[in-house]
Amino acid sequence: MLAVVVALVVATASVATGAGAVWNMTAVGAPLPDTGVVIAVVDTGVEGSHPAFGSRVLPQINIVKGSNGDPNGHGTHVAGTAAGGSINCGDFTGNASAAVGVAPGAKILPVRVLDDDGSGTVSGVAEGIKKAADAGADVINLSLGTDLNGLTGASGALVDAIEYAWDKGSIPVLAAGNGGLVGGLFGSGYGNINAVVVTAVTRQGGVASYATDVGSAKWGIAAPGGAGNGKAADDIVSAYSGNACGLLAGTSMAAPHVSGALAILRARGLSPQQAVERVLSTAKRTSPSRTYGSGILDLGAAVSGIPRKGAGSTTTTTTAAPSVPAPTVTTVPSTTSPPSSTTSSAPSTTTSPTTAPATTAAPTTAPPTTEPSGSTTSSPPTSEVAAADVSLDVDDGGRVSGGLAAAAGLACAAMWLVLGRSAARLRD
In the chain, what are the domains?
7-424 (3.40.50.200)
The pLDDT of residue 211 is 94
Between CA 272 and CA 136 the distance in angstroms is 13
The pLDDT of residue 66 is 79
Q: Which of 86, 95, 91 is nearest to 326 (CA)?
A: 86
Q: What is the value of pTM for the model shown?
A: 0.74
Residue 174 · residue 195 · CB < 8 Å: yes
Q: Which of 279, 1, 236, 9 is nearest to 100 (CA)?
A: 236
Active site residue 74: yes
The tens-digit pLDDT sequence of the chain (428 residues) is 222 234 334 444 433 333 334 899 999 999 999 999 999 999 999 999 999 999 999 999 999 987 789 999 999 999 999 999 999 999 899 889 999 999 999 999 999 999 999 999 999 999 999 999 999 999 999 999 875 665 556 788 999 999 999 999 999 999 999 987 666 566 788 889 999 999 999 999 999 999 999 999 999 999 999 999 999 999 999 999 999 999 999 999 999 999 999 999 999 999 999 999 999 999 999 999 999 999 999 999 999 999 998 765 433 333 333 333 333 222 222 222 223 332 222 233 333 333 332 222 223 222 222 223 233 322 333 222 222 222 223 233 333 333 444 444 434 333 333 333 222 323 33
Q: Collapsing DSSP states into helix, strand and coil, what is residue 427?
A: strand
Q: Considering just the CA atoms, what is the radius of gyration of the chain in Å? A: 19
Between CA 122 and CA 162 the distance in angstroms is 12
The catalytic position among 86, 97, 155, 252 is 252
Mind spelling out the 3-state secondary structure of 64-115? CCCCCCCCCCHHHHHHHHHHCCEEECHHHHCCCEEECCCCCCCEEEEEECCC
Between CA 344 and CA 47 the distance in angstroms is 22
Q: What single DSSP character describes residue 382?
A: P
Q: Which of 183, 219, 218, 223 is nearest to 200 (CA)?
A: 223
**CA 8 to chain centroid:** 9
Residue 84 · residue 51 · CB < 8 Å: no
The pLDDT of residue 179 is 84
The catalytic position among 34, 43, 235, 393 is 43
Q: Which of 278, 258, 375, 268 is nearest to 326 (CA)?
A: 375
Q: What single DSSP character describes residue 284?
A: B
The pLDDT of residue 65 is 85
Between CA 284 and CA 307 the distance in angstroms is 21
Q: Which residues pair with residue 61 across a beta bridge? A: 111
Q: Which residues pair with residue 245 across a beta bridge? A: 239, 427
Between CA 355 and CA 219 the distance in angstroms is 34
Q: Collapsing DSSP states into helix, strand and coil, what is residue 332?
A: coil
Between CA 346 and CA 6 the distance in angstroms is 9
Active site residue 393: no
Q: Which residues pair with residue 173 across a beta bridge? A: 141, 196
The pLDDT of residue 148 is 60
Active site residue 252: yes
The pLDDT of residue 391 is 28
End-to-end CA distance of the chain: 37
The catalytic position among 50, 74, 77, 257 is 74
